[in-house]
């Protein structure tokens, strides 16, 4: 697909909508401005619970390798791998572990059972080209986690935490900037006119939701087409999609071989 769009000279974008959460775009801006300094860690978890035994989830398309490609890795992991690329940079090497807890589920049409041949969960530890280290963990077996896309970045000048279930907010900690007695994490409401994408929305503090990320995403693509602007670095291109797949393949390869894998894009 990447080769085809390059040959055609077309604009191309992958729907990694979390890049279009204003708070996440703000994190990228803060990193670009050097506010975190050198980045040491990127720690992400994207957790759901909907295929726990209690819910009796049948063998839907998301549990078939030939249709879905992989399980939690491709469904949830792709998003946080893309965010790791967007916020921190290229991966150097990775080790991964995938696991399928329930191998057989009832078919949707009631005609017996089918084999689940995708991962129910994965965990990975990686090193970035810039020397930062990180971890990724995704599961659809995490009781109580509905759509918990969380990450934390630790830099030399501060740390930032994001939680999709509080998507209008960021938590930030600045090293040595607060008076000692009141030093701590600050909660920032990312809903003001001077925040990314907010020139198009509501007055102070009138929050937005998940669907607005798609409005931003499509606006970005249309703007790139109509006004001949680049889709990257803030929109994910097919190149970014390809790179995400390289990392997912490396995690699967590492899990199968039991060895750490060099990431070669
Ligand atoms: N953040 C994100 O970007 C994000 C989040 C959720 C889902 N997704 C993606 O959105 C897509 C849909 O996910 P979902 O959870 O809604 O899946 P789903 O299984 O709930 O819904 C898929 C729908 O497509 C219909 N369908 C299947 N084959 C069809 C065909 N040939 N023609 C017309 N309709 C057909 C099915 O009947 C079903 O209603 C997937 O590709 C998924 O990966 C992306």
The number of domains in the chain is 2
Q: Are residues 116 and 200 in the same domain?
A: no
Q: Are residues 123 and 208 in the same domain?
A: no
Q: List the domain range (segments joined by +) for residue 170.
A: 16-37+156-229
Residue minimizing CA distance to atom 8 of ligand 1: 75
Q: Are residues 139 and 168 in the same domain?
A: no
pLDDT of residue 177: 97
Q: Say if 246 falls within a structural domain.
A: no
Q: Alpha-carbon distance 58 to 56, whole Å?
A: 6
Residue 67 in contact with residue 75, Cβ under 8 Å? no
Token look-up 């703000």 returns 26
Residue 68 in contact with residue 118, Cβ under 8 Å? yes
Instruction: Supply 203's token pair.
Output: 């007055």
pLDDT in tens, 156-211: 999 999 999 999 999 999 999 999 999 999 999 999 999 999 999 999 999 999 99
pTM of this structure: 0.97
Q: Are residues 70 and 128 in the same domain?
A: yes
Q: Are residues 30 and 161 in the same domain?
A: yes
Ligand 1 centre from 225 Cα, in Å?
26
Q: Are residues 49 and 139 in the same domain?
A: yes
Is the beta carbon of 17 within 6 A of some atom in ligand 1?
Answer: yes
pLDDT of residue 71: 98
Q: Say if 236 falls within a structural domain.
A: no
């Amino acid at each position: 697909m990447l080769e085809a769009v390059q040959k055609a000279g077309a604009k191309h974008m992958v729907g990694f909508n979390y890049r279009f959460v204003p708070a996440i775009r703000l994190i990228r801006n803060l990193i670009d401005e050097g506010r975190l300094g050198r980045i040491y860690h990127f720690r992400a978890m994207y957790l759901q619970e909907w295929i726990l035994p209690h819910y009796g989830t049948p063998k839907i398309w998301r549990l078939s390798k030939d249709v879905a490609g992989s399980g939690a890795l491709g469904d949830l992991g792709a998003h946080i791998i893309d965010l790791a690329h967007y916020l921190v940079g290229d991966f150097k090497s990775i080790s991964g572990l995938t696991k399928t807890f329930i191998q057989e589920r009832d078919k949707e049409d009631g005609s017996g059972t089918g084999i689940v041949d995708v991962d129910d969960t994965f965990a990975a530890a990686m090193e970035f080209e810039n020397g930062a280290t990180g971890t990724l963990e995704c599961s659809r077996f995490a009781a109580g986690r509905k759509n918990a896309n969380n990450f934390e970045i630790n830099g030399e000048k501060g740390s930032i935490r994001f939680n999709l279930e509080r998507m209008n907010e960021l938590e930030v900690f600045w090293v040595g900037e607060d008076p000692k007695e009141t030093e701590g994490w600050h909660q920032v409401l990312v809903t003001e006119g001077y925040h990314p994408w907010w020139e198009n929305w509501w007055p102070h503090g009138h929050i937005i939701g998940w669907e607005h990320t798609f409005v931003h995403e499509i606006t970005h693509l249309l703007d790139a087409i109509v006004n001949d602007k680049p889709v990257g670095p803030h929109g994910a291109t097919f190149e970014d999609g390809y790179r995400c797949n390289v990392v997912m393949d490396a995690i699967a390869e590492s899990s199968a071989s039991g060895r750490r894998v060099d990431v070669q894009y």
